[in-house]
Amino acid sequence: IAPETLRKKEYTMASDIYSFGMIMWELLSGRLSLSDKNHDLCLLLEVCEGVRLAVIEDVPQCYNDLMKKCWDNNPEKRPKASEIYK
């Protein structure tokens, strides 16, 4: 869930882009994201403070770069769907 959603702010297309980055990480890593952590208040605070998943080795660097952009704490800095499509 995007940090702004956890902060009870408006859910936008940028929130979906954050989720896209999470799904991309799961597909490339073959693992569920954050499955090794308790899904509690501590995790929510970490996400809101900018803690993100580790990069995945053995995938093109451009994929890791895209995921990082999708996870930007500022929704306005995340790529648009049309940019990802290109």
Confidence of residue 14 (pLDDT cuts 50, 70, 90): very high
Report residue 83 as tokens: 């940019």
pLDDT at 2: 87
Rounded to two decimals, the pTM is 0.85
Q: Give me the CATH topology for the region 3-85.
A: Transferase(Phosphotransferase); domain 1 (1.10.510)
Structure tokens at 12: 């936008």
Largest CA distance in the chain: 37
Looking at residue 33, what DSSP letter applies?
T
5 and 11 in contact (C-beta within 8 Å)? yes
Contact between residue 47 and residue 55 where contact means Cβ atoms under 8 Å apart: no
23 versus 1: the higher-pLDDT residue is 23
Banded pLDDT at 46 (limits 50, 70, 90): confident
